[in-house]
Amino acid sequence: MSLRLPALLTLLCVSGPAIASTAPDGITPDRLMEGPDTLQIGEVNITSVKQGRSLLRQPVTVTTIRQSELERFDVAGMKGVSEIAPNFFMPDYGSRMTSSIYVRGIGARIDQPAVGLNVDNVPYLNKNAYDFDSPDIERIEVLRGPQSTLFGRNTIAGLINVYTLSPMYYQGLRVLAGAATHGNYRLGLSYYRRFSSSWASSLSASGSRREGYFRNSHNGARADREHNESLRWRTIFRPSSALSIENVASYNHAHQNGYPYASAESGLIDYNDPTFYRRTAFTDGLTITWTTPAFTLASITGFQYLSDNMTLDQDFLPEIYFTLTQKQRDRNVTQDIVIRGKAGDYGWLAGVFGFYKYADINAPVTFKEDGINRLILDNVNSQLPAGMRLAWDQPELLLGSDFRNPVKGIAVYHQSSYDIDNLSLSLGLRFDYEHTALRYHSYADASATMWRGQIPLRTQEIHIDNSDRLRQHFAQFLPKFSITYNLPHSAVFFSVAKGYKSGGFNTQMFSDFLQQRLMEEMGRPAEYDVDKMVKYRPEISWNYELGGHFSVDRNRVYSTFALFLIECRDQQLTMFPDGTTTGRIMANAGRTRSLGGEFTLNYRPTDRWHFNLAYGYTRATFRRFSDGINDFRGKRVPYAPSNTLFTAATYRQPLTLGWLDAVSLTADMRGTGSIYWDEANLWRQPFYTEFGATLRFEFPAGSFELWGKNLTDRSFNTFRFESMSNSFFQRGLPARGGLTLRLDFPSL
């Protein structure tokens, strides 16, 4: 069908920022097909407050995964989106705290993310909260390339928009129940009700449990057992056609053993101290939209509280070296005010964004017998005269570190676009200012005795109590320019954009600083400069991109392509310093370059067949980077895959049995690699593939699915690292299968 442009724009403005209705079969992923005077609509769907037009008409490369596709590929969270969106990789390792995402060679393992996340338009500032499951995701949009001009911090590599099902456009009861091998279970219950034409609400609850895939040979326990619970309450109130008020509150709790890291020497997961991750998160977002004939004004207010606890046997060995407990309480408030309007061929958008983020972190490292002897005393005693030795007086040594990390920022931004026949020109600019501080308190109390043979000579009391406040501030102008050539069912664009990720502090290195202070107390010079080592600089990129979107054969064929070049300065990399240090450090690589391309194809030759293809290639290399000992020029940037591949074919056979509507079979393949695990490119994971399949039975009240993943039981690694001169890795998940029951009772 088609609607005249003025009528459609009125509908979109009135409807607000997160409208969705179920698309009929045969509609391609980007539903809005814009012609010169009309929009061909497969699904009325607003992408976000800031992206008012169809993403098909935006000068950005995007993959949209709808609810039907999320169910078809059994995607419960964002880790399942890997490879479906080309050059998007979110590896499954460590714990749910380890929400590392890599896009086009840009990513982050610790601290601030390189890819932003908005859930129902509310930004998530802490990546520890990124990894969650939800049974009621209406769609996920993965925008690749820097989105810093409109969205600021944490979007140097891209942006993920997650939208949940709206009670304004769906009413009824939804039930999810699933069981799988290795003790996997999922349950979900959601109720949606529209009380009147202006008021609707929904309540969703879900939970999951996993017994685990990997066993710790030291105690026989599953190293990755976990359980999760979540609640979501969404309310929409529209007192008039001009005003929309929406609030979404969500709660999530996760508890998992986590970190099934195996020794590269033995191939076994074998560590003796407790290791787990526990997270509690609460998020609330309030979106108010006011529409006038001249403009649309929106306010998005977000609040997030996160409390988590990461406890590690940090040496990951059966020896009693040391443990780490990192407890964090993070609170942040965000406020975004956006005004958007259009006058003829000229469209504009302006906004102000501010945030305040405050984190309390307590991160003690406890050295035990082997850690004291081998990491501290051996270094000291090797330099003493023959017959002399230093002995520790306590069985354990606590190196305490407490941090307060307040961060605040403000930004103003504007974007103008102008249409000239089939051409669209767009120019945006953002000024972003951020101030961050670190208040730290590091302490240790112990004593050591000097011995000559069996005779004690003297006892030295060690008392370290350091505290200070460090500050950094960052200011950046972030421009973006694009030109788009529009045809009735396609668009080609070229864009130049500046990406930005602010700097910060290396809190995980303080145990090493304390260790060096101990050495200093015992007469050995300190090797670390706290003020120099604790800070890292902002990361800045320039992205040059040529891309396009195409839809032909009455929307049965939809395809996208992109070619990109990214020049990055001071790319932030997580590194493990050489030697027997216990911490990780965020370092700035001088210059890196990423170049590559992407291609997607969705093809529906008939109502029964559906084919998907997504391929991404990235060559990310160091142009200038040295750690002071090694020169890594020309080496590949670690952790980012060179290739991602996703293919799927679905055949759906309609039936007229009354109780059974259709049967469908989906076969898919995911491919990733190669991935380098270190800056010197000594270790890598070659390209690997995983095959999956789903048999789905559709009936009037829902569906029943039988599915399998990694059916060939392909062995591969999802992570590898070195710590204390030992190498560790985590294996990918083995072959697994299960069944999923979905019940849908509309208007119940």
- The CATH code of the domain that includes 588 is 2.40.170.20
pLDDT(535) > 50:
yes
Distance CA 227, CA 229 (A): 7
Q: Give the residue with greater pLDDT, 6 vs 155.
A: 155
Point out which residues pair with 298 in neighbouring strands: 289, 338
Give residue 15's pLDDT band: very low, low, confident or very high (50, 70, 90).
very low
pLDDT(33) > 70:
no
pLDDT(531) > 60:
yes
> Token pair of 643, please?
């290739």
Q: Give the residue with greater pLDDT, 203 vs 52.
A: 203
> Token pair of 204, please?
């969703």
pLDDT for 519 equals 65
Stretch 11-30: mean pLDDT: 31
Stretch 311-330: mean pLDDT: 91
Please choose, from the candidates 90, 187, 85, the residue with its C-alpha nearest in 3D space to the C-alpha of residue 142: 85
Q: Are 634 and 621 a contacting pair, CB within 8 Å? A: yes
Q: How many domains does the chain have?
A: 1
Please choose, from the candidates 22, 29, 20, 21, the residue with its C-alpha nearest in 3D space to the C-alpha of residue 610: 29
pLDDT in tens, 410-469: 999 999 999 998 999 999 999 999 999 999 898 888 888 888 888 888 888 888 888 889
Q: Give the residue with greater pLDDT, 512 vs 716.
A: 716
In whole angstroms, what separates CA 689 from the centre of its chain?
Answer: 22
pLDDT(30) > 50:
no
Convert 171-205 to b/e letters by CB count within 10 Å (16 or more is b).
Answer: bbebbbebebebebebbbbbbbebeeebbbbbebb
Distance CA 31, CA 7 (A): 18
Stretch 519-545: mean pLDDT: 75
pLDDT for 29 equals 33
Give residue 735's pLDDT band: very low, low, confident or very high (50, 70, 90).
very high
Distance CA 118, CA 299 (A): 15
pLDDT in tens, 211-259: 999 999 999 999 999 999 999 999 999 999 999 999 999 999 999 998 9
- Helix, strand, coil content of the chain in percent (nearest 5): 10, 60, 30
Looking at residue 387, its amino acid is G
What is the number of other CB atoms lying within 10 angstroms of the CB of residue 393?
12
pLDDT for 54 equals 63
Distance CA 399, CA 531 (A): 19
Q: Is the peptide bond prior to 674 cis by the omega test (within 30 degrees of 0)? A: yes
pLDDT for 446 equals 86
pLDDT(19) > 60:
no
Give residue 8's pLDDT band: very low, low, confident or very high (50, 70, 90).
very low
Give residue 25's pLDDT band: very low, low, confident or very high (50, 70, 90).
very low
Distance CA 716, CA 502 (A): 34
Q: Give the residue with greater pLDDT, 581 vs 342.
A: 342
> Token pair of 57, please?
């008409």
Distance CA 269, CA 256 (A): 16
Q: What is the pTM of this model?
A: 0.88
Q: Is 380 helix (H, G, I), strand (E, B) or coil?
A: helix
pLDDT for 42 equals 31
Stretch 710-736: mean pLDDT: 92
Stretch 312-334: mean pLDDT: 92
The phi, psi pair for 378, rounded to 5°, reads -60, -35
Q: What percent of the chain has pLDDT over 90?
A: 61
pLDDT(471) > 60:
yes
Which residues, at least 6 apart from 592, have a Cβ–Cβ distance to it below 8 Å?
A: 105, 568, 571, 620, 621, 622, 623, 625, 637
The mean-pLDDT minimum among 130-139, 287-296, 358-367, 378-387 falls in 378-387
The mean-pLDDT minimum among 283-297, 359-373, 376-390 falls in 376-390
pLDDT for 20 equals 31
The phi, psi pair for 69, rounded to 5°, reads -75, -35
Q: How many CA atoms, within 13 angstroms, populate the side-chain half-sphere of residue 218? A: 19
pLDDT(116) > 70:
yes
Domain containing residue 107: 2-746
First-to-last C-alpha distance (Å) of the chain: 29
Stretch 734-741: mean pLDDT: 96
pLDDT in tens, 166-190: 999 999 999 999 999 999 999 999 9
Query: What is the number of helices (H) and of strands (E) in the chain?
Result: 7, 42
What rounded mean pLDDT belongs to the chain?
86
pLDDT(23) > 70:
no
Q: Are 627 and 615 a contacting pair, CB within 8 Å? A: no
> Token pair of 217, please?
């040979």
Please choose, from the candidates 19, 25, 6, the residue with its C-alpha nearest in 3D space to the C-alpha of residue 602: 25
Give the position of tokens 């670390």: 528
Give residue 10's pLDDT band: very low, low, confident or very high (50, 70, 90).
very low
Beta strand 609-624 pairing with 643-654: antiparallel
pLDDT(591) > 50:
yes
DSSP one-letter string for 465-521: EEEEEEEEEEEEEEEEEEEEEEETTEEEEEEEEEEEE--EE-GGGHHHHHHHHHHHH
pLDDT(47) > 60:
no
pLDDT for 308 equals 94
The phi, psi pair for 444, rounded to 5°, reads -160, 140
Give residue 16's pLDDT band: very low, low, confident or very high (50, 70, 90).
very low
